Structure 1
Amino acid sequence: MRSRSLRPRNGAAVRPLALAATLALTVAPLTVATTASAAERVDNPFVGADQYVNPYWSGNVTDAAAEAGGELGQKMLAVADTPTSVWMDRTSAIEGNVDGPGLRYHLDAALEQQQGDTPMVFNLVIYNLPGRDCYALASNGLLEPNAAGLAEYKDDYIDVIADMLAEPQYEDLRVVATIEPDSLPNLVTNISEPACQESAPYYREGTAYALDRLYEAGNVYSYIDAAHAGWLGWDSNAGPAVDVFKEVVTSTEHGYDTVAGFVTNTANSTPLEEPFLADEPFGSGGQVRQAEWFEWNRDFDELDWTEHLYSLAVTAGFPSDIGMLIDTSRNGWGGPDRPTTESTSTDLNTYVDESRVDRRTHRGAWCNPAGAGLGERPTVAPAGNPASHLDAYVWVKPPGESDGNSEEIPNDQGKSFDRMCDPTFNSPKLAGKLTGALGGAPLAGQWFQDQFEMLVTNAYPAIDGGSVDPDTEAPTAPSGLTATATTSTSVSLSWDASSDDTGVAGYTVRVDGATAATSATTSATVTGLAPSTTYAVTVTARDAAGNVSPTSAPLSVTTDEGGGTEDTEAPSVPAGLTAGAVTTSSVALSWDASSDDTGVTGYQVRRDGELVADVPGTSVTDSGLDAGTAYSYSVAAYDAAGNVSAASDALSVTTDEDDVEPGGACTVAYTANSWNTGFTGSFVVTNDSDAAVSDWELTFTFADGQQITQIWSAQAAQSGSAVTITPAAWSSTIAPGGSVSFGFNGSHSGTNTAPDDFALDGVSCDLA
């Protein structure tokens, strides 16, 4: 279960900067203009900014349109000026290589496209860790998972990129960096793989180093890749994933300041929303999530996953102002195979299969999936799902670039043949189903004409103009546009529905001519505005054929000076705050719903006065607590206008006492996978003391005569049953509360009991 991609390009010649200058004149701003200075650090970097359009990718699209011709070619041209990310997929990409121009070319082109004082967002992907893609072959990197590979990653890759971004001429760019797709998620679900065990320490240290150095550049907003709903959505994956994210981020020098948020669905095709499916009861005592398609995963789509991820991350300690990005470049799933209504079948699997818009063979299928389409165009602060805390929809994966070759292709780029890209392969990873991949695919990152034609044909929302639908009648212009509430930074809008011969599919809200929100209904809230500023707001409607209505009459809206709103009535104070299950490290809280004249949007939960959760519902579990400790909780409700209720009565809760004997100097987590007379073991050693441990020595004993035959990320000496582990050069120091990981291959004679008698520098440790 993965996501994939590499940076551009085709074998075509590099296009000159003149094209970038031309595009700068034609690209419509994608965001709401504000008066904020680009040099200032802002909460959402996309607000008030245009986004860089990669002229090299646009040239590929133009060539593709010429090859396709006709209506399809016209549709392709309609998306040629869409912002996409620039991928740095190997060290040579910084200077430029056979795949396309280098980083400086793109940065200079971004400056060419910048208009006046409007900030420019430059979308960048950092993707070059040692041992990259430890669980796949199509996009394996060139850096080996060893000390030399990590040194090159730091010195010749991250340092060079960070130093270039920090140069004075680029200081006003807002660089939005997607950090290492797939890497940290692999440490959650695929750590039993020897290659992932070998890469794990380099993933952790390399990612932390990248976060620190990019933050120090001053103009970079880093979003950590967080896979997608069909990979990490299960509770058993989601919680450990947030633990890994927190471990890496808190190991940095600058901590949470290094992270603007998370990006999901990178190069994947999980839909934003499954409109006809909900996690609800089905039949007699069943749940929709029990279907074979969902496999008990309650996160059906990316809106579910981002909401789930945000709640867990904030509860774990991440700041509440983190934002989420979703890659919508290939998750539209339009075209003739898209369901138009909910199934009426009484068989659960048939019901789900007939209702789902995701038409893949399996949610884990990731390579050039047949039937996929372009998704939502890049959108700033999308409306309609406030619990997801979305900063933007973005196109991280440039559409038209292959995920991997569908058959063996010799190359010198470290890209191997992954059978997940072979359309004839029944994959064990997909429950024995065919991969559903397109045939004839080139190497990852190279232009794939057939894929791009498919994505454009199946775009959802459909691409304006050149639609294959014979319906050519546009909806009527929306009327009655009204501001129902304003704050200093937002405006809530409503309007009368448009009419159309085939039905209206949705609406687009523009502020000062820039797309600010999309909505399936006749209301939306635009956020990220500047106080005391007057904006011109318009709305257009679109139908399923892609026809766009005339623009509504403009509405002039002025934001409030200091956060006041036309709606000034705060929700009622939440009552009935109660603690349910209490453990040594967590408290389950619930409360009664608040009432409000315009409706409650969410609840803020505070522990000892500090915000620990922002949730849409009336319950939350606060975890990561200390045993035997008293905490004071309160809850406040807020509405769409930003009004916040008074806090509830405080609830005092004391966590359970820890019955475990006091620990020693460390905690050791150990896992093993056995086969015949061999096995693979992995360790995570955590320093529980108050001081750093340097040049450490871990000792333990095997009970059944096991022998270590190979070890990675550490060194081993064994005498009989006694084993002594010493660190690799890059892990010689374990900070207080920090940890190191290593793994080994070994042999056993039938019985394979876990080792015991752990000690770190002679002081006993606990086995987790």
Structure 2
Amino acid sequence: MEQGKDRKARRITSAFVAAGVTLGVAGGLAALTTTSSNAATAAGCTAVYSTTWDSGSGFGSQVVITDDGPAWSNWTLSYSYAGNQTLQNGWNGTWAQSGKTVTVTSAAYNGAVASGGTVTPAGNFTYSGTNAAPTSFAVNGIVCSGTVPPTTPSTTPSTTPSTTPTTPPTTPPTTPSTTPSTSPSSPGGGTGHVANPFLGATSYLSPDYTGEVNAQVAADQSSNPTLAASEAKMAAFPTAVWMDHIGAITGAGDSVHHGLQWHLDQALTQQQAGTPITLEVVIYDLPGRDCAAIASNGEIPATAAGLTEYESQYIDPISTILANPKYSSIRIVAIVEPDSLPNAVTNQSKPACATATPFYESGVEYALNKLHAIPNVYNYVDIAHSAWLGWSSNMGPAAQEYAKVARATTAGFSSVDGFISNTANYTPTTEPFLPNSTLQVGGNPLDSAKFYQYNPYFDEYDYDQAMYTQLVGQGFSSNIGMLIDTSRNGWGGPNRPTSLNSAPTTVDTYVAANKVDQRPFRGDWCNQSGAGIGARPTVQPYGASNHIIAFVWIKPPGESDGDYVTATHSHGDPHCDPNGTNTDGNGGTYSTGSLAGGDVPAGQWFAAEFQQEVTNAYPVL
């Protein structure tokens, strides 16, 4: 299933220090984390408790337990709360609660823990009143004692980016590789090429996006002050700068979308002394761009002359600006050509894609060569999303395609720092009530539901873990980082399920009752009705050992995905028409899921969409 989007058209890990937890945060803030550290003494274990989010009535927690004695073949963690904290769900173990006491028993995949090894069970809870952290933990009956944790932080909304992650994974991350890094991992000082550019850095806040948000806040203030107050918080989150046409390099000549050099200069003014700052820029103008879409078709033809134009008129000017020593303290995160190479895998039956593919491959190769040569630029190549490449028939060939292009570059696999999924898309980071795609309902596995069509990856977390394994297997470094665009995949609001509904007896009704993704068809992608802001930009949302190194907002929330053909204008994409339909390739026909009134050209401000996304944010703003 292909997607097509662009900005115009489109489309934590906690670092454990001693016995405590520190969380790097995009924006340079202290994390919303309560920490309890338990010294290893003679107890044979260490337990580190932290709250990963806290809304005032619910919270997420995790306990990092370390085996300081002989290896475990299985383990049981137990601890007690002082208040009325009530378990909702958990993962990385089997969770149970009796009264105030919580127990977690190891799962089949994580029972064996070597001496010195760690495991991290995590869960979600509700509460009222005070959310005091537990002070004592035991593993296999052995007490891990430690200091009393600090007071739970305030949940008062900050004017700077929150570190609250979305609902965490319901399946375990793959075991991190022990292969030595090919690049330094220290986050300090903005010097050198680090493993995670977001760690230890603040984040650039685009004045262009802030201006769009503030204008909407002013428009809504008198009619809906409550909504306006939530909208105002959006101006404090980092979003990417899109280079989606050659003219974007120098700027549109207006006050809405400035040029690349202007943004870099603004980043220098925002940078704190001695601290690096990250700026995300989207490289998006390949010859024959988005060959399977209409709303995001590019300006450069898929021809040899077009490739020369792409290289000389687009990539070369961008790389020249980025290479200016003036900007060497900025960690520039380059999102390389969304929706390009996936088309080389799945859409070769389309003549436009078959024609464009060699130019995609050569263009991405050229872009990686030019950008990788700049030490403070970090290349993250787009890998679409789980609803596109999740099938085994797509995932393996996709990894091979990315490896093919990387091998052709001067630096080989080193030219790629990592990959990004869900760019400008709406696929949830996790499906908390659908953790097992093979679960049998009515004699059939859940992935046989029409919504999934035997695609075993229901969310981006699981998809990214699987793609990581595939990519490393093709030769990429085990230190590649995975990013997820969470700008619009929250799916909150009144239609979001809040607990498991096990009553349905068919896979289709079971999935419909429990999925947070409210699209009528998983292939819908344009200005989706009911969508909401997702997890805030967050560094290492699942810990330092997880391959997902950050949540990012690449698509600026509130900017349209594309318009559609009407009697008054001939340009547009039928996928964006709220009265149109999409097909699944198997005879199924579905609504586009597009928001009514959405005949807004790609990249332009769509007020109703922004209002909806803020209203349906999850976690709430």
Confirm or deny a common fold (TM above 0.5).
yes
**Structure-to-structure mapping, 1:558-573, within 5 angstroms:** none
- Displacement of 1:199 in angstroms is 0.7
1:355 aligns with 2:539: no
Change (3 A) 1:420 1:385: farther
* Cα distance between partner residues in 2 of 1:299 and 1:281: 13
1:372 aligns with 2:524: no
SS of residue paired to 1:329: coil
- Displacement of 1:149 in angstroms is 1.1
* Cα distance between partner residues in 2 of 1:458 and 1:105: 33
* Cα distance between partner residues in 1 of 2:159 and 2:239: 13
Letter in 2 for 1:96: G
Q: 2:564 touches 2:576 (CA, 8 Å); kept in 1?
A: yes
- Displacement of 1:423 in angstroms is 0.8
* Cα distance between partner residues in 2 of 1:194 and 1:121: 39
- Displacement of 1:3 in angstroms is 5.1
Residue 289 (structure 2) aligns with: 132
Letter in 2 for 1:2: Q
* Cα distance between partner residues in 2 of 1:376 and 1:249: 31
- Displacement of 1:152 in angstroms is 1.1
Change (3 A) 1:214 1:334: same
Change (3 A) 1:3 1:329: farther
- Displacement of 1:254 in angstroms is 1.1
Letter in 2 for 1:242: A
1:252 aligns with 2:409: yes
SS of residue paired to 1:47: coil
* Cα distance between partner residues in 2 of 1:134 and 1:7: 16
Select which of 448, 451, 458 maps to 2:606: 448
Select which of 330, 333, 336 maps to 2:488: 330
Residue 294 (structure 1) aligns with: 452
Residue 374 (structure 2) aligns with: 217
* Cα distance between partner residues in 2 of 1:24 and 1:188: 39
Q: 1:323 touches 1:391 (CA, 8 Å); kept in 2?
A: yes
* Cα distance between partner residues in 2 of 1:384 and 1:318: 21
Q: 2:487 touches 2:555 (CA, 8 Å); kept in 1?
A: yes
Residue 303 (structure 2) aligns with: 146
1:402 aligns with 2:565: no
**Structure-to-structure mapping, 1:542-621, within 5 angstroms:** none
- Displacement of 1:160 in angstroms is 0.7
* Cα distance between partner residues in 1 of 2:451 and 2:442: 19
Letter in 2 for 1:218: P
SS of residue paired to 1:79: helix
Residue 337 (structure 2) aligns with: 180
Residue 75 (structure 1) aligns with: 230
* Cα distance between partner residues in 1 of 2:291 and 2:312: 22
Change (3 A) 1:301 1:8: closer
1:111 aligns with 2:294: no
Q: Bigger shift: 34-43 or 373-382?
A: 34-43
- Displacement of 1:408 in angstroms is 4.0
**CA displacement 1:483-517 (0-9 Å, x = unmatched):** xxxxxxxxxxxxxxxxxxxxxxxxxxxxxxxxxxx
* Cα distance between partner residues in 2 of 1:236 and 1:154: 32
1:345 aligns with 2:486: no
**CA displacement 1:99-127 (0-9 Å, x = unmatched):** 62100110000001001111000101000
* Cα distance between partner residues in 2 of 1:281 and 1:29: 37
Residue 384 (structure 2) aligns with: 227
Q: 1:30 touches 1:51 (CA, 8 Å); kept in 2?
A: no
* Cα distance between partner residues in 1 of 2:368 and 2:566: 35
Q: 2:333 touches 2:379 (CA, 8 Å); kept in 1?
A: yes
**Structure-to-structure mapping, 1:628-639, within 5 angstroms:** none
* Cα distance between partner residues in 2 of 1:52 and 1:405: 29
Residue 87 (structure 1) aligns with: 242
* Cα distance between partner residues in 2 of 1:124 and 1:306: 21
Q: 1:95 touches 1:103 (CA, 8 Å); kept in 2?
A: yes
Change (3 A) 1:424 1:322: same
**Structure-to-structure mapping, 1:614-693, within 5 angstroms:** none
Residue 19 (structure 1) aligns with: none
SS of residue paired to 1:78: helix
Q: 1:375 touches 1:461 (CA, 8 Å); kept in 2?
A: yes
- Displacement of 1:270 in angstroms is 0.1
- Displacement of 1:145 in angstroms is 0.7
- Displacement of 1:410 in angstroms is 7.9
SS of residue paired to 2:387: helix
Letter in 1 for 2:251: G
Letter in 2 for 1:460: Y
Change (3 A) 1:394 1:321: same
Q: Runs of 4+ in structure 1 displaced over 3 angstroms?
A: 23-31, 384-387, 406-411
* Cα distance between partner residues in 2 of 1:295 and 1:161: 41
Letter in 1 for 2:371: L
* Cα distance between partner residues in 1 of 2:322 and 2:481: 22
Larger Rg: 1
- Displacement of 1:284 in angstroms is 5.3
* Cα distance between partner residues in 2 of 1:354 and 1:447: 33
* Cα distance between partner residues in 2 of 1:163 and 1:80: 30
Q: Which runs of 5+ in 1 are unaligned?
A: 10-22, 464-768
* Structure with the larger strand share: 1
- Displacement of 1:198 in angstroms is 1.0
Letter in 2 for 1:379: T
Residue 201 (structure 2) aligns with: 49
Change (3 A) 1:221 1:129: same
Letter in 2 for 1:312: Q
Q: 1:406 touches 1:440 (CA, 8 Å); kept in 2?
A: no
Letter in 2 for 1:401: E
Select which of 314, 317, 323 maps to 1:160: 317
* Cα distance between partner residues in 1 of 2:567 and 2:196: 42
SS of residue paired to 2:316: helix
Select which of 187, 203, 207 maps to 2:360: 203
Q: How many residues are aligned here?
A: 445
Change (3 A) 1:409 1:103: farther
1:191 aligns with 2:348: yes
Percent identity over paired residues: 46
SS of residue paired to 1:305: helix
**CA displacement 1:325-347 (0-9 Å, x = unmatched):** 00000000000010112222112
Letter in 1 for 2:540: A
Letter in 1 for 2:563: N
Change (3 A) 1:91 1:284: same
SS of residue paired to 2:211: helix
Select which of 433, 458, 461 maps to 2:619: 461
Change (3 A) 1:5 1:35: closer
* Cα distance between partner residues in 2 of 1:437 and 1:362: 11
- Displacement of 1:5 in angstroms is 2.1
Letter in 1 for 2:211: G
SS of residue paired to 1:199: helix
* Cα distance between partner residues in 1 of 2:187 and 2:339: 37
- Displacement of 1:90 in angstroms is 0.5
- Displacement of 1:279 in angstroms is 1.5
* Cα distance between partner residues in 2 of 1:386 and 1:193: 40
* Cα distance between partner residues in 2 of 1:36 and 1:386: 19
Change (3 A) 1:306 1:3: farther
Change (3 A) 1:385 1:354: farther
SS of residue paired to 1:80: helix
- Displacement of 1:28 in angstroms is 4.1
1:121 aligns with 2:278: yes
* Cα distance between partner residues in 2 of 1:349 and 1:8: 32
* Cα distance between partner residues in 2 of 1:347 and 1:221: 46
- Displacement of 1:92 in angstroms is 0.7
**CA displacement 1:559-604 (0-9 Å, x = unmatched):** xxxxxxxxxxxxxxxxxxxxxxxxxxxxxxxxxxxxxxxxxxxxxx
Residue 391 (structure 1) aligns with: 549
SS of residue paired to 1:312: helix
Letter in 2 for 1:216: A
Higher relative contact order (CA 8 A, sep 6+): 2
Letter in 1 for 2:505: T
Letter in 1 for 2:554: V
When normalised by structure 2's length, the TM-score is 0.69
* Cα distance between partner residues in 1 of 2:478 and 2:498: 37
Residue 2 (structure 1) aligns with: 3
- Displacement of 1:315 in angstroms is 1.1
When normalised by structure 1's length, the TM-score is 0.56
* Cα distance between partner residues in 2 of 1:147 and 1:90: 18
